[in-house]
């Protein structure tokens, strides 16, 4: 899967900031952005490692097409014998491996230059074929569920070759009580086109229908506001611009208030419909059950944060002091706090900094990390038509691939460390696990990337040349915690409140949602932040709320990463072996157990409390350095 870099004050700005990378180039001098042909081959990823020629890709495409009928032999017969089951699962794996290569190659090729029609068509072709393969495979899960439990366990014990699928099969059986009859499952599947409508309506409204208006920029020019430009304007040192952009942005959304409220209510009712239909007590229970995560993990996260919001309140007050404003508003939360030119790194300096900073990870990790930097894993620079942002992707049969749009900022150095963390996770997992377990749960996926950032951050802090550099790094660390940890928990608490209201049989309204969001927002940020009259509209324009109970995992991942990274820095006995085992484990265990094996128990509040303690120390240190100045 693709992983987007998160290091923002609020995830509400994530999409805007990611889009900014691409949208700004549209308005800049086209000559400032090079063509792909202008970039040295050593700074491009090597897609030929997947397919050396398009003919090779076409041959595998044809192979999948010809193999779709191969499942007919097994349909209706998986319960006949262990041999029949094993053959089907092995066929399933073999075709998934090929499809993975086809799919990733086509879409990485598209992301090199999205203007090329041939790449667009290839991506569309493989998307359609992937859907057809999924339909051909769709009988496997339901048929496995129809096999009597004792019979399946007997097969597992009698057929050694089936043992590799033991966890996969037992996990399917675990979910049996929530699987319906074949006819009911077919109805639910068909209903998906309807129940996805709320999310589709939100996307169309926010991306196509909302007219944002215009704003006068720093130079006195009238500029049309866009979602991407809004993110940039909120980071402007010009407070008048931030205020005006915020006012125009909220006014645009205000016109759609009732529509957005009704759409979000419909989405939450969809969540409750599926939870009830699948015999869960709550939407939260259904959402967490896929990874077998106890709901107590979610509740303990919220409880731990609510028990100690003082460090965040103190940071709010310190931000107000640094900005020198009488009243702190939400549009001030992304404003730059230091009046200085950002430090720049060449690409070679960025790689060297990561290699030096991540030395505590150990020789084996560093050897593979360095190999990845020089072996065609990374597409480095922005070029015309290239996908914006940054991500890591790949398949079980290939080395990882990383897309960057490197521009030399310190933030980009952290992006490199982050995405290489994902890549190393994939590298170790694919080297260790069979294809059936090569993925990662989101509950663990962001741990490897964020741990790299934490170790790199502490290296840079220890080697800061002067007081100003150290303050800049400390502020970046604080904002990372605020955006990746506190904001996610705040969002999750709002999700819980609105889902709970629907689950009690009550209705949602714009007024209720806005008041609930305002109350939580004020609680988290404290009395120093003043939320204006329509400042609570955020709850109606956050796309993450259309994917229930999703963002809390960024907070749990962050807590786990801070725990693991500190133990690595402390050179705890055995920690390197545990960490490599963590990186090497895909979905052959449940994510809570994977982290427990690494020494992080997310069923307790201890990892969460440690993040709160870190924030408190960082805020105190910034305050001390400011007082010294």
pLDDT for 71-118, tens place per residue?
A: 999 999 999 999 999 999 999 999 999 999 999 999 999 999 999 999
Sorted by sequence, the CB contacts under 8 Å of residue 290 that are 6+ apart come out as none
Give CA–CA dist 479/477, Å, rounded: 6
Distance CA 352, CA 459 (A): 13
User: Is 57 buried (19+), middle (13-18) or exposed (0-12) by CB count in 10 A?
Assistant: buried
> Could you say which DSSP state residue 342 is in?
P
Low-confidence ranges of the chain (pLDDT < 50): 1-31
Q: Report the alpha-carbon distance of residue 297 to residue 603 in Å, rounded.
A: 5
Residue 528: how many CB atoms within 10 A of its CB?
A: 16
419: annotated active-site residue: yes
Q: Between 82-112 and 149-158, two packed helices, what is the crossing angle to 10 degrees? A: 90
Contact at 8 Å (CB) between 312 and 525?
Answer: yes
Say how far apart CA 579 and CA 564 lie, in whole Å.
Answer: 8
Per-residue pLDDT at 266? 95
Torsion of CA 564, 565, 566, 571, to 10 degrees: 90
CA 157, 159, 163, 167 torsion-angle sign: negative
Helix (H) or strand (E) holding 553: helix 552-569
pLDDT digits (tens, 9 = 90+) for 591-615: 999 999 999 999 999 999 999 999 9
pLDDT of residue 32: 66
Q: What does each C-alpha distance from 402 to 251, 272, 346, 389, 428 come to in angstroms?
A: 38, 37, 18, 11, 16
* Alpha carbons 68 and 135: distance in angstroms, whole number: 9
pLDDT of residue 189: 74
CB 50 within 8 Å of CB 105: yes
SS3 state at 33: coil
Would strands 222-224 and 214-216 be described as parallel, antiparallel, or unpaired? antiparallel
* Nearest-angstrom CA–CA distance, 443 and 595: 9
Burial class (CB in 10 A: 0-12, 13-18, 19+), 603: middle
Output the six-digit token pair for 597.
């094996």
What is the CB-side half-sphere exposure of residue 597 using CA atoms within 13 A? 17
Q: What pLDDT is attached to residue 239?
A: 97
Q: Beta strand 401-403 with 378-379: parallel, antiparallel or unpaired?
A: parallel
DSSP 343-372: PB--HHHHHHHHHHHTGGG-HHHHHHHHHH
Gyration radius (Cα) of the chain, Å? 25
Q: What are the helix (H) ranges across 79-181?
A: 82-112, 117-137, 140-146, 149-158, 166-174
Q: Which of 368, 419, 446, 493 is catalytic?
A: 419
pLDDT for residue 375: 95
């Amino acid at each position: 899967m693709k992983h987007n870099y998160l290091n923002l004050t609020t995830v509400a700005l994530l999409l805007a900031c990611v889009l900014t990378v691409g949208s700004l180039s549209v308005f800049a001098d086209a000559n400032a952005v090079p063509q792909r042909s202008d970039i040295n081959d050593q700074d491009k990823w090597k897609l030929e490692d997947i397919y050396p020629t398009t003919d090779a890709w076409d041959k595998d495409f044809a192979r999948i097409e010809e193999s779709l009928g191969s499942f007919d032999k097994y349909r209706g017969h998986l319960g006949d014998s262990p041999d029949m089951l094993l053959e089907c699962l092995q066929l399933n794996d073999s075709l998934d491996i090929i499809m993975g290569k086809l799919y990733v190659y086509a879409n990485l090729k598209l992301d090199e230059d999205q203007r090329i029609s041939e790449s667009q068509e290839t991506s569309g072709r493989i998307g359609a074929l992937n859907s057809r393969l999924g339909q051909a495979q769709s009988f496997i899960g339901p048929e496995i569920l129809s096999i009597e439990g004792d019979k399946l366990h007997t097969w597992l014990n009698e057929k050694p070759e089936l043992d590799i699928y033991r966890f996969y099969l037992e996990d399917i059986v675990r979910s049996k009580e929530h699987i319906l009859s074949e006819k009911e499952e077919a109805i639910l599947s068909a209903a998906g086109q309807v129940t996805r409508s709320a999310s589709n309506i939100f996307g169309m409204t926010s991306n196509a229908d909302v007219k944002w208006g215009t704003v006068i920029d720093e130079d006195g020019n009238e500029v049309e506001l866009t979602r991407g430009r809004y993110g940039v304007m909120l980071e402007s040192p010009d407070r008048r611009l931030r205020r005006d952009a915020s006012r125009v942005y909220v006014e645009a959304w205000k016109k759609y208030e009732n529509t957005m409220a009704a759409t979000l209510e419909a989405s939450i009712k969809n969540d409750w419909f599926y939870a009830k239909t699948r015999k869960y007590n709550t939407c939260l229970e259904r959402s967490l059950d896929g990874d077998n995560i106890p709901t107590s993990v979610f509740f303990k996260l919220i409880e731990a944060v609510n028990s100690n919001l003082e460090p965040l309140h103190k940071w709010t007050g310190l931000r107000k002091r640094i900005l020198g404003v009488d009243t702190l508003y939400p549009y001030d939360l992304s404003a730059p706090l230091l009046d200085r030119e950002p430090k720049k790194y060449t690409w070679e300096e960025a790689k060297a900094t990561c290699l030096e900073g991540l030395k505590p990870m150990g020789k084996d990790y560093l050897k593979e990390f360095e190999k990845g930097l020089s072996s065609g894993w990374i597409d480095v620079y922005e070029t015309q038509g290239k996908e914006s942002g940054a991500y890591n992707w790949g398949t079980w049969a290939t080395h990882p691939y990383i897309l960057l749009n490197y521009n030399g900022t310190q933030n980009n150095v952290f992006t490199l460390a982050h995405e290489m963390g994902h890549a190393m996770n994939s590298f170790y997992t694919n080297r260790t696990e069979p294809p059936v377990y090569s993925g990662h749960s989101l509950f663990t996926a962001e741990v490897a990337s964020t741990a790299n950032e934490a170790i790199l951050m502490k290296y840079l802090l220890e080697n800061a040349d002067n007081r100003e550099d150290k303050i800049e790094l400390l502020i970046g660390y604080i904002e990372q915690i605020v955006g990746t940890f506190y904001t996610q928990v705040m969002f999750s608490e709002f999700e819980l409140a609105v889902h709970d209201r629907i689950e009690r049989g009550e209705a949602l309204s714009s007024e209720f949602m806005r008041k609930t969001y305002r109350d939580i927002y004020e609680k988290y940020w404290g009395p120093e932040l003043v939320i204006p009259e329509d400042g609570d509209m955020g709850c109606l324009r956050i796309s993450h709320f259309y994917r229930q109970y999703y963002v809390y995992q960024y907070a749990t991942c962050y807590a786990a990463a801070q725990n693991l990274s500190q133990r690595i820095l402390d050179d705890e006995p055995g920690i390197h072996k545990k960490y490599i085992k963590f990186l090497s484990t895909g979905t052959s265990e449940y994510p809570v157990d994977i982290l427990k094996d690494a020494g992080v128990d997310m069923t307790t509040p201890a990892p969460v409390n440690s993040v709160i303690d870190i924030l408190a120390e960082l805020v105190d240190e910034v305050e001390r350095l400011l007082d010294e100045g």
